[in-house]
Copies of this chain bind each other. A is one copy, B any other.
Amino acid sequence: MGKTTGRVTLPSESNFLKETQELLDRWGADAIRDSDGTKLDDDIKSLDAKIYTTYFVARGHNEFAQKHMDECQQIYLMSAYTLCTGSEVEIAFNEEYFDQQVTPDYDHDPKEWWEVIDRTTGEIVDPKNWEVDSKKNVVVVHDAKAFHEYTVSFLAYILWDPTQMYNHITNDWKDKPHEIPFDVRKPNSRQFVVDYLKEWLEKEENKRCDVVRFTTFFYHFTLIFNKLAKEKFVDWCGYGASVSTEAILAFEKEYGYRLRPEVFVDNGYYNSTFCVPSKEYKEYIDFQQRFVSETAKELVDLVHEAGKEAMMFLGDNWIGTEPYGKYFENIGLDAVVGSVGGGATLRLISDIPGVKYHEGRFLPYFFPDTFYEGNDPTIEAIDNWLSARRAIMRKPIDRIGYGGYPSLAYKFPKFVDYIEKVCDEFRDIYDRVHEAKPYCGLKVAILNSWGKLRSWHAYMVAHGLYCKQIYSYNGILESLSGASVDVSFISFDDVLENGIPSDIDVIINAGDAMTAFSGGEVWKNEKLVSMLREWVYNGGGFVGIGEPTAYENGGHFFQLADVLGVDKELGFTLHTDKYFTTPVEKHFITDDVVEDFDYGEGMKNIYALYEDTQIIDYGNGEVHMASHDYGKGRGVYIAGLPYSTQNTRILLRALYHAANKEEDFKKWYADNLYCEVHAYPENNMYAILNNTNEPQVTRIFDGDGNSVEAKLEPGEIRWMVIENGK
């Protein structure tokens, strides 16, 4: 592999010219970026590379914001549940919140814009029966019911951009000003963001900028701190902080109804992505996405007029511009850049439609928490690269990059060597595969309430942190991100409106009961249930993980229990004998298993319904894995699927089995489950990947099922030519 260049972005910093040049050369980088809080010196900007400049739209302009505090961004917040012990209850509604971040909005009449709810009955309290003391920030409810709990949903102004607040508090930035977020739906702000960008683009210091890196646009994902200045709730996909009286009135004008505060507060769940979205919330999302994409387009057009490219950072103030939303492509962005934590987050970036290029920022970030004496940052880099690489093989991003202080990385020569290798390997892969469609044995759709909008980040909590309740589902996405199947995300609404796409081989429904990912009450919809039954009956494959199709109705908990061949015992049929408890001796799905099964949190009380349910794994009085023929199709049940190499293989086999295509499984296949084969028939090439940092020996199967043995070095990728035109 000869030395190649390009497709790599380097962070830089002051007084680091010579080393920056050296890293540019060694890593073949062709772009340089600033980072949060760092600026590029002129000498750096003079290097032969594209220059990315971070741009903040709706924060970081306090001189403007302070003059227009009534244009601050807003959010609906819910007070703590407050118990009434007499006939009156006093609710210190904002007591739990961080007063430097949020403050009640008294500019708009609370009687019109707020809601007091008796949470024990769910009834809205007549505004006549409560009043606000704006000095004490207290709502007093009269004629309240004893031993009912009351809450106040109040409209608040957001005084501090959450990302800056987080960085400020974490890094103890002391009296550095708090950046006030303003709302482009309000007149002065709308004008300001346009005017300021025009001005910025004209500035001499920005002439050298090639790429305006929007970080990001208008509305931050939900991130609210508590009175101790600690995180209280956070939802990377939450629309809470995009609300305003203007938005609600505009919505009312268009949709003919007023959005209640409860649409946002949602029982205190704040429309977590795990909540099945209400009709109102879905309409609000659509409404805001249209507004945000139209407004963002104006800015992007200005950037283009200035001869620069517009890149969006995937995160922070990204609400309304989620790249899998319906209107995203209209914005006209050139590129999206996001952080790569593994295969699923890589695909989250690389699958984005409608932009010219996709850039992934790899780990580790060049920060002292990793780059300290005695630590080997290469370990994290290898892990990050090997987990992302298999996803790149399916759908490559166009560029990779790094962030932080390069002077730190520079002190670790082994790391610099390794990244040099990664950059070369990335370019080599990219050149070979970016225009070729990889061989996909199956088309798989993940079915949940969100569908395409939450592609590759279903189940995400916060910024993708570990969470006990999600890792058993997240593994599905991570496994699929590098598997040789086509993956799409479809929603119940999609299916109910348009039917099941004709090219799908297998549908996956996975999640805890009543969540947006399992689906909850939608499973009472006979149209959905009978459509899926018919589809499987006629040959489709259905894989259920956790509590799929779960909604207690008509004597079933899993509404597709008849398809899956299993159901969950809720107690109501404890008196009914469960006859089928014996696992089959051998099953296609578990043919490669070398380690103990790992279902993560698993699922209790699953039992087989039929004699012809094939129990694949049974233990502790429960079915953990099963398959069931249903007409010409099949259902497969798995109790949970945390990410592991073995579970990746189990899932892939489950998909082939569900699709009744076992005979196609050993095409472009490695029998050692730590290895994978990716084939590009259009290019007459295939690659054998060792996904581990150990040597591996594997038998490799070509597209006709012929096999040879291969020995692979740690982390090796080996390119092979497809013989005989196969």
Tell yes or no: A119 within 8 A of B by CB.
Answer: yes
The residues of B that contact A470 with a CB separation of less than 8 Å are 574
Tell yes or no: A55 within 8 A of B by CB.
Answer: no
The residues of B that contact A468 with a CB separation of less than 8 Å are 605, 620-621
A112 to B511, CA, bound (A): 43
Contact with B along A274-307 (1 / 0, CB 8 A): 1100000000000000000000000000000000
A488, chain B: closest CB distance, angstroms: 23
B469 touching A569, Cβ below 8 Å: yes
A47, chain B: closest CB distance, angstroms: 42
B526 touching A574, Cβ below 8 Å: no
- Which of A321-329, A363-371, A527-535 is found at the contact surface with chain B? A527-535
The residues of B that contact A576 with a CB separation of less than 8 Å are 232-233, 268
A264 to B272, CA, bound (A): 40
B530 touching A145, Cβ below 8 Å: yes
Tell yes or no: A25 within 8 A of B by CB.
Answer: no
A267 touching B570, Cβ below 8 Å: no
Contact with B along A520-554 (1 / 0, CB 8 A): 00000010011101100100000000000000111
- Which of A146-154, A309-317, A493-501, A656-664 is found at the contact surface with chain B? A146-154
Tell yes or no: A166 within 8 A of B by CB.
Answer: no
Q: A233-B575, A269-B573 are in contact. Are A120 and B530 (CB under 8 A)?
A: yes
Q: Which partner residue on chain B sits nearest A536 by CB separation?
A: B147
A102 to B697, CA, bound (A): 62
Tell yes or no: A604 within 8 A of B by CB.
Answer: yes
A575 touching B146, Cβ below 8 Å: no
Tell yes or no: A246 within 8 A of B by CB.
Answer: no
Which A139-187 residues have C-beta < 8 A from chain B?
Answer: 145-149, 151
Tell yes or no: A515 within 8 A of B by CB.
Answer: yes
| Residue in B461, B514, B554, B575 whose beta carbon sits within 8 Å of that of A552 in the complex | B514
* Highest count of chain B CB atoms <10 Å: which of A274, A554, A569, A604: A554
By secondary structure, the A interface counts as loop
A468 to B581, CA, bound (A): 14
A555 touching B119, Cβ below 8 Å: yes
The residues of B that contact A526 with a CB separation of less than 8 Å are 120-121, 145, 148
| Residue in B238, B274, B574 whose beta carbon sits within 8 Å of that of A571 in the complex | B274
A514 to B268, CA, bound (A): 22
| Residue in B151, B234, B514, B572 whose beta carbon sits within 8 Å of that of A275 in the complex | B572
A515 to B81, CA, bound (A): 27
Tell yes or no: A99 within 8 A of B by CB.
Answer: no
Q: Which partner residue on chain B sits nearest A532 by CB separation?
A: B147
Q: Which partner residue on chain B sits nearest A470 by CB separation?
A: B574
Q: A119-B554, A533-B147 are in contact. Are A234 and B574 (CB under 8 A)?
A: no
The residues of B that contact A462 with a CB separation of less than 8 Å are 575
In the complex this chain forms, how many copies of it are found?
2
| Residue in B149, B575, B604 whose beta carbon sits within 8 Å of that of A235 in the complex | B575
| Residue in B83, B122, B238, B515 whose beta carbon sits within 8 Å of that of A533 in the complex | B83
Tell yes or no: A562 within 8 A of B by CB.
Answer: yes
B120 touching A272, Cβ below 8 Å: no
Which A557-608 residues have C-beta < 8 A from chain B?
Answer: 562, 569-577, 579, 601, 604-605
A343, chain B: closest CB distance, angstroms: 22
The residues of B that contact A512 with a CB separation of less than 8 Å are 570-571
A272 touching B554, Cβ below 8 Å: no
A270 touching B621, Cβ below 8 Å: no
Tell yes or no: A3 within 8 A of B by CB.
Answer: no
B530 touching A148, Cβ below 8 Å: yes
The residues of B that contact A268 with a CB separation of less than 8 Å are 555, 573, 576
Q: Which partner residue on chain B sits nearest A237 by CB separation?
A: B575
A235 to B147, CA, bound (A): 39
Q: A83-B533, A85-B537 are in contact. Are A467 and B514 (CB under 8 A)?
A: no
The residues of B that contact A631 with a CB separation of less than 8 Å are 85
| Residue in B147, B235, B267, B562 whose beta carbon sits within 8 Å of that of A554 in the complex | B267
Tell yes or no: A231 within 8 A of B by CB.
Answer: yes
B515 touching A571, Cβ below 8 Å: yes
B149 touching A575, Cβ below 8 Å: no
Tell yes or no: A718 within 8 A of B by CB.
Answer: no
Q: Which partner residue on chain B sits nearest A572 by CB separation?
A: B269
B120 touching A554, Cβ below 8 Å: yes
Tell yes or no: A230 within 8 A of B by CB.
Answer: yes
The residues of B that contact A85 with a CB separation of less than 8 Å are 537, 631
The residues of B that contact A275 with a CB separation of less than 8 Å are 571-572
Q: Which partner residue on chain B sits nearest A226 by CB separation?
A: B577
The residues of B that contact A235 with a CB separation of less than 8 Å are 575
The residues of B that contact A571 with a CB separation of less than 8 Å are 272, 274-275, 469, 511-512, 514-515
A556, chain B: closest CB distance, angstroms: 8
A85 to B81, CA, bound (A): 50
A554 to B267, CA, bound (A): 6
A392 to B151, CA, bound (A): 51
A272 touching B575, Cβ below 8 Å: yes
| Residue in B121, B267, B467, B555 whose beta carbon sits within 8 Å of that of A574 in the complex | B467
A577 touching B233, Cβ below 8 Å: yes
A436 to B591, CA, bound (A): 68
B530 touching A574, Cβ below 8 Å: no
A147 touching B531, Cβ below 8 Å: yes
A569 to B534, CA, bound (A): 35
A93, chain B: closest CB distance, angstroms: 15
A122 to B554, CA, bound (A): 6
The residues of B that contact A120 with a CB separation of less than 8 Å are 526, 529-530, 554
B272 touching A530, Cβ below 8 Å: no
| Residue in B553, B555, B601 whose beta carbon sits within 8 Å of that of A604 in the complex | B601
The residues of B that contact A577 with a CB separation of less than 8 Å are 226, 230-234
B121 touching A562, Cβ below 8 Å: no
A530 touching B575, Cβ below 8 Å: no
The residues of B that contact A605 with a CB separation of less than 8 Å are 468-469
Closest 8 CB pairs of A and B: A147-B530, A267-B555, A274-B571, A119-B554, A147-B533, A268-B555, A269-B572, A235-B575
Interface of A toward B, CB cutoff 8 Å: 81, 83, 85, 119-122, 145-149, 151, 222, 226, 230-235, 238, 267-270, 272-275, 461-462, 467-470, 511-512, 514-515, 526, 529-531, 533-534, 537, 552-556, 562, 569-577, 579, 601, 604-605, 620-621, 631
* 7 pairs, A vs B, C-beta closer than 8 Å: A147-B529, A149-B554, A222-B575, A230-B579, A267-B572, A468-B620, A512-B570
What 16 new A-B contacts, CB under 8 Å, besides A122-B553, A274-B574?
A83-B562, A85-B631, A120-B529, A121-B526, A146-B530, A151-B555, A222-B575, A230-B577, A233-B576, A268-B576, A275-B571, A461-B575, A468-B620, A470-B574, A514-B552, A514-B570
